[in-house]
Amino acid sequence: MVERVTISHPRLPAGFDGVAIAAVADVHASPLRGGRSRVQRVVELVNSLHADLVCLLGDLVHNARHAPQYVPLFAELEAPHGVWATLGNHEHGFFWYSRYLGGPRGPSADEWRCLYAQAGIRLLVNETTAVERNGSRIWLVGVDDAYSDHADLSAALPPEPDADFRLAITHSPDVLDHPRIAELALTIAGHTHGGQIRLPRLGPLYAPCRRFRERAAGLVNANGTTLYVTRGAGEGFPLRLLCPREISLITLRAHSKA
């Protein structure tokens, strides 16, 4: 399903008012999880949203060895301001349910960068780039996966003063506990699958992040910033209850329309 969210922020430049971001996480493409057809359905749905930016938040493949088979399919994604990606724990060879029981080590960051580049996708690994629209600029900050200990927010932050709007894309929501997180206006993350199993009033029974009842899915305002966690477009273990798959369409507003 498509989850449509509007987020307002006073520092968002006027030129980015109304910009739409499609956030895709946790496709977990593999031969046993829908294979090429799942990826193609995700790509078709994302393109139908006509987003200004597309952000891929990691775990696009379930096993890193399948990357050459599935990553090229994402080349069909279209967005006028680019398709951007960051790495997840599965790209690094760590299973989501236990970082200590992971599979073989995944490709290096440079190898992933090359693979994504061949698909026309810009991979951000603890680095920042400027995005310009209608004469305005924001910083897009790509933070590597915190769950597998690859995140380095300090290295990723731009050197310029923090007056500009900084939007971070990352895999694990645990980056929210970094001491410099307040320098980001908004962070978009995945990894949790929303907990996959949620109960009325109780919420998720478990999710692989800190304070999972607060951070497993949706909007979180904490530590001087805003975080949005998408429930993901797939999962490793195919069981969900009251927690449907999600592709997020996030519209940014320079001020509240209320």
Q: Specify the pLDDT at position 101.
A: 63
Q: Which two tokens stand for residue 247?
A: 């592709």
Instruction: List the chain pLDDT tens, one digit each, 258 residues.
Output: 999 999 999 999 999 999 999 999 999 999 988 889 999 999 999 999 999 999 999 999 998 888 999 999 999 999 999 999 999 999 998 775 565 665 566 788 899 999 999 999 999 999 999 999 999 999 999 999 999 899 999 999 987 766 689 999 999 999 999 999 999 999 999 999 999 999 998 999 999 999 999 999 999 999 999 999 999 999 988 899 999 999 999 999 997 544
Q: Judge whether 242 and 203 are in contact, CB under 8 Å.
A: no
Taking alpha carbons only, the member of 187, 184, 154, 159 closest to residue 173 is 187
Taking alpha carbons only, the member of 50, 18, 25, 19 closest to residue 217 is 25
* The length of the chain, given as a count of residues: 258
Is residue 184 in a domain? yes
Cβ-Cβ contacts under 8 Å for 122 (sequence gap 6 or more): 82, 83, 84, 85, 116, 129
In tens, the pLDDT along 193-204 reads 999 999 998 999
**27 - beta bridge partners?**
none
Determine how many CB atoms are found less than 10 A away from the CB of residue 119.
Answer: 17
Q: Specify the pLDDT at position 211.
A: 95
Q: Specify the pLDDT at position 102.
A: 59
In tens, the pLDDT along 113-159 reads 999 999 999 999 999 999 999 999 999 999 999 998 999 999 999 87
Is residue 166 in a domain? yes
Distances (CA, A) of 210 to 111, 175, 187: 30, 10, 16
CATH number for position 115: 3.60.21.10
Is residue 195 in a domain? yes
Is residue 244 in a domain? yes
Q: Judge whether 124 and 168 are in contact, CB under 8 Å.
A: no
Is residue 193 in a domain? yes
Q: Judge whether 8 and 253 are in contact, CB under 8 Å.
A: yes
CA 206 to chain centre: 20
Determine how many CB atoms are found less than 10 A away from the CB of residue 6.
Answer: 13
Cβ-Cβ contacts under 8 Å for 38 (sequence gap 6 or more): 27, 29, 234
d(CA 112, CA 243): 30
Q: In sequence order, which ranges of the chain are alpha helices (DSSP H)?
A: 35-48, 67-70, 109-118, 153-156, 212-215
Is residue 258 in a domain? no
E-assigned strand segments in the chain: 2-8, 20-24, 53-56, 83-85, 122-123, 127-133, 136-142, 166-169, 186-189, 198-199, 203-204, 218-222, 225-229, 247-253
Q: Are strands 20-24 and 83-85 parallel, antiparallel or unpaired?
A: unpaired
Number of folded domains that form the chain: 1
Domain hosting 41: range is 2-253
Is residue 249 in a domain? yes
